[in-house]
């Protein structure tokens, strides 16, 4: 069949449903399920400016499933949607409507877990602004929390790597931190000025206050080793 990559998505879906009904002889219930799921996909894609079959990419399909998960649709519904769209894109690829199958790597979530989603920059900024407002009161815990989140965000390190950082691992002049990653591999990671400022506030004002409190018996006891009060960030 001649490639028809410029066709509208709705036209391709109609052709797929006709094939499912007459070419494959699927039950009317199955065809209706395909139709319902793919109508939802068309509406989702159109709202994002995608109306051509050739523009239907894996990222949009993943967003479509994530949106369903975010709105609380049942696991079974999301799994069925994934199955429907993969059947559609596989048919479109095999029939020559598109040059490659964008749904071949699409996977539905398993069990009760939710689909992961990257936090937006606006969400991070809102969170940081809230932490900064609390830290402005010089509350030691707030200073610590802001330093932790700023460093995680700026350096892109794992939480497991962050908890292993000692004061001597920080180079505030060069804006770098030495971390120990998986397999014991050490690397030096850069961070920005906001993270440096938050770290300095924590190390200069917040951390000493908490250590003093601990030594006075008002909090957890400080240890002399690098893994606790001695040099651990």
CATH number of the domain within which 206 lies: 1.10.443.10
How deeply is 51 buried, as exposed, middle or buried, from its count of CB atoms within 10 A (0-12, 13-18, 19+)? middle
Q: How confident is the model at residue 117 (pLDDT cuts 50, 70, 90)?
A: low
In a domain, 211, yes or no: yes
Q: Is the pLDDT of residue 219 over 60?
A: no
Q: Of the ranges 61-65, 124-128, 213-217, 222-226, which is most confident? A: 61-65
Q: Quick one: 25 and 86 in the same domain?
A: yes
Tokens of 215: 């030594």
Its domain, for residue 131, covers 121-215
Q: Quick one: 90 and 154 in the same domain?
A: no
In a domain, 226, yes or no: no
In a domain, 224, yes or no: no
Q: Mean pLDDT over residues 213-222, rounded?
A: 58
In a domain, 178, yes or no: yes
Q: How confident is the model at residue 212 (pLDDT cuts 50, 70, 90)?
A: confident
Q: Is the pLDDT of residue 1 over 50?
A: no
Q: Quick one: 132 and 49 in the same domain?
A: no
Please tell me the number of Cα atoms within 13 Å of 74 on its side-chain side. 3
Among 8-22, 58-72, 163-177, 213-227, which is the least confidently predicted range?
213-227
Q: Mean pLDDT over residues 138-150, rounded?
A: 92
List pLDDT tens digits, range 172-194: 899 999 998 877 788 999 999 99
In a domain, 22, yes or no: yes
Q: Is the pLDDT of residue 224 over 80?
A: no
DSSP state of 220: S
In a domain, 32, yes or no: yes
| Secondary structure string (H, E, C) spanning 2-52 | CCCCCCEHHHHHHHHHHHHHHHCCCCHHHHHHHHHHHHHHHHHHHHCCCCE
Q: How confident is the model at residue 13 (pLDDT cuts 50, 70, 90)?
A: very high
Beta strands in the chain (DSSP E): 170-171, 176-180, 186-190
Q: Quick one: 203 and 127 in the same domain?
A: yes
Q: Is the pLDDT of residue 28 over 60?
A: yes
In a domain, 140, yes or no: yes
Q: How many domains does the chain have?
A: 2
- How high is the pLDDT of residue 226? 40
Average pLDDT over the chain reads 84
Q: Between these two residues, 97 and 123, which has the higher pLDDT value?
A: 97
- How high is the pLDDT of residue 223? 43
- How high is the pLDDT of residue 113? 52
């Amino acid at each position: 069949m001649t490639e028809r990559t410029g066709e509208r998505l709705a036209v391709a879906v109609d052709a797929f449903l006709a094939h499912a009904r007459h070419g494959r002889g699927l039950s009317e219930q199955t065809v209706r399920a395909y139709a319902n799921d793919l109508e939802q996909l068309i509406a989702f894609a159109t709202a994002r400016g995608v109306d051509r079959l050739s523009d239907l990419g894996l990222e949009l399909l993943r967003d479509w499933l994530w949106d369903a998960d975010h709105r609380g649709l049942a696991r079974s519904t999301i799994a069925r949607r994934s199955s429907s769209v993969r059947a559609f894109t596989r048919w479109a690829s095999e029939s020559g409507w598109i040059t490659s199958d964008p749904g071949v790597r699409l996977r539905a979530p398993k069990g009760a877990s939710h689909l992961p989603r990257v936090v937006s920059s606006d969400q991070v900024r809102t969170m940081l602004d809230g932490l900064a407002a609390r830290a402005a009161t010089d509350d030691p815990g707030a200073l610590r929390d802001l330093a932790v989140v700023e460093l995680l965000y700026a350096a892109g390190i794992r939480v497991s790597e962050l908890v292993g950082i000692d004061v001597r691992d920080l180079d505030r002049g060069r804006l770098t931190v030495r971390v120990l990653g998986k397999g014991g591999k050490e690397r030096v990671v850069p961070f920005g000025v906001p993270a440096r400022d938050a770290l300095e506030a924590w190390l200069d004002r917040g951390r000493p206050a908490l250590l003093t409190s601990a030594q006075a018996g008002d909090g957890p006891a400080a240890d002399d080793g690098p893994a606790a009060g001695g040099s651990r960030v």
